[in-house]
Amino acid sequence: MTKHEMPNKPPHGANAPQPVRTLREWLDHLAAHQRLAVIKPNTDLKFEVAAYAKRLDGKRATLFPKPSGHAIPVVSGLISDRGWMADAMGVEPAEVLPRFLEASLNPIPSQEVKSAPAQEVVHRDKIDLAKILPLPTHNEHDYGPYISAGLMIVRNPKTGKQNVSIHRCQLAGPNRLGVLLLPRHTHMFFELAEKENQPLDAAIVVGVDPLTLLCSQAIAPMDFDELEIAGALQGRPLPVVKCVNSEIRVPAEAEIVIEGKILPKIREPEGPFGEFPQYYGPRANSHVMEINAVTHRKDAIFHTIVGGGLEHQLLGAIPKEATLIANLRRNFPNVVDVHLAPGGVMRFHLYVKLRKRQEGEAKNVIMGAFAASFDLKHVIVVDEDVDIHNPTEVEWAVATRFQADRDLLIVPNSQNSKLDPSAVKGVGAKMGIDATKPLAADEMVFKRIHVPGEEAIDVAEVIKRDTKTDWKGALK
Ligand code: MN
């Protein structure tokens, strides 16, 4: 056992198939696979950190030593590829959704520990967040520095059950954050407290492993502590520790914990801030959190997520896909797979692979998908021979198997995302495209052309990285 008495400390070598359990283990893994770029020291927290992170999105995670001279480094882009999340889970990419579903259905309760790395250093008096933490400003028109990768943990004042979610948090004063709470579980718990004119204790946890980050986005029922999904994904009870100023239990191996209270009857302007659709979320009155403690590791690392990038999109998409596939299969067991496409910011465009058995079935699947998630705007259903992770393949199916007068479904004036700027206050149209081939078609009409033996050729092997090709010599 280590000095902090963590249960079941795992071995996690560079190539080991175990799930990842801490941010540090994950950084080791990224570094060992040429997926971590260490940027120059003293990178500016205003714009420059985000500029590097954004340009390297999808290629490398980024680590910034001494950003703007700050002692605490910043990291970004922890997961910018679906395959990386598979590695973090210790599974093959095709197993990411089934594994996440399985963990959601078989949560493992957390295990409390008495001392924790996350509390090696404790600040309680005269909190000045910008002094303690390296808070970056991302986009041109963002109001200022934000905490964008913090897991907000709160407790239901009636039941004591915890909720975990991510909210954008704007620096609004030395010990004050503007937090955007949308009407979900955290907001419900806050309303229960506010009705009694009480503040709601909250903790914001920054710097966790990718699986704990992912669990915060699970679509779970109220009073379901999402940290228990992280435990299931990691294959152990997640070690948690009591906050220094409240009853909230936070991941003990986290880098940084910001403790405070969301104030009743107080709303202050917050925003704009660059959001997932790659537009600004507007400035509006949001909730206010007053900070009363910050705890962190001695050599803490601060995580930031640049809005609209792949890290932001994937963390939301994987739990949504898992929920959608489970939902759809209740009525349509022949739904093979679903994919929230990157071109639809992994929220608005759903591709569905269907083993069609009945004419008209694709349209029912489209309606089922719209009913399951209000965020969905366009749904495309394709046959089993189409790779839904390849947008060009899906477009090919639309080009060759879809007729707009027959296969298009439009639902006007329905609930859409409020962050879709083309919708009016979140009301807009939905469109479904049935790009499946008719069951009764003559076999040769929709038979895809195929060269015998094409699959067996190893393209990487053929494309040698020689700069000079001696084609004349080869012909002698
Ligand atoms: Mn919840």
pLDDT digits over 243-274, tens only? Answer: 999 999 999 999 999 999 999 999 999 999 99
Q: Residue 90 C-alpha to ligand 1 middle, in angstroms?
A: 25
Quick one: average pLDDT of 82-93?
95
Q: What integer pLDDT is reported at residue 2 of this predicted model? A: 43
Q: Residue 214 C-alpha to ligand 1 middle, in angstroms?
A: 13
Tell me how far apart the alpha carbons of residues 33 and 29 are, in angstroms, rounded to a whole number: 6
Q: Residue 224 C-alpha to ligand 1 middle, in angstroms?
A: 6
CB count in 10 Å sphere of residue 63: 21
Q: Residue 185 C-alpha to ligand 1 middle, in angstroms?
A: 5
pLDDT tens for 93-141 read: 999 999 999 999 999 999 999 999 999 999 999 999 999 999 999 999 9
Nearest residue to 258 via CA among 294, 292, 288: 294
Q: Residue 249 C-alpha to ligand 1 middle, in angstroms?
A: 15
Q: Return the beta strands (E) in 67-221 as ranges.
A: 74-76, 111-112, 121-123, 146-147, 150-155, 162-166, 169-173, 176-179, 200-206
Nearest residue to 206 via CA among 73, 60, 62, 304: 304
Residue 472 makes CB contacts below 8 A (sequence gap 6+) with none
Q: What integer pLDDT is reported at residue 375 of this predicted model? A: 93
| Alpha-carbon 187 to chain mean position | 20
Q: Residue 167 C-alpha to ligand 1 middle, in angstroms?
A: 13
| Alpha-carbon 75 to chain mean position | 16
Q: Return the beta strands (E) in 86-238 as ranges.
A: 111-112, 121-123, 146-147, 150-155, 162-166, 169-173, 176-179, 200-206
Q: What integer pLDDT is reported at residue 464 of this predicted model? A: 77
Q: What integer pLDDT is reported at residue 10 of this predicted model? A: 44
C-alpha pair distances (Å), 77 with each of 63, 311, 317: 9, 6, 15
pLDDT band for position 466 (cuts 50, 70, 90): low
Q: Residue 414 C-alpha to ligand 1 middle, in angstroms?
A: 25
And the tokens for 201? 């204790």
CB 124 within 8 A of CB 291: no
Tell me how far apart the alpha carbons of residues 395 and 402 are, in angstroms, rounded to a whole number: 10
Quick one: average pLDDT of 345-366?
97
Q: Residue 201 C-alpha to ligand 1 middle, in angstroms?
A: 16
Q: Residue 225 C-alpha to ligand 1 middle, in angstroms?
A: 7
Q: What integer pLDDT is reported at residue 470 of this predicted model? A: 85
Quick one: average pLDDT of 444-458?
95
Q: Residue 103 C-alpha to ligand 1 middle, in angstroms?
A: 15
Tell me how far apart the alpha carbons of residues 138 and 91 are, in angstroms, rounded to a whole number: 33
Mean pLDDT, the chain, rounded, equals 94
272 prior amide bond cis, ω within 30: yes
Kindly write down the DSSP assignment for every residue of 44-74, as one continuous string: -TBTHHHHHHHHTTTT-EEEESSGGG-SS-E
Q: Residue 216 C-alpha to ligand 1 middle, in angstroms?
A: 8
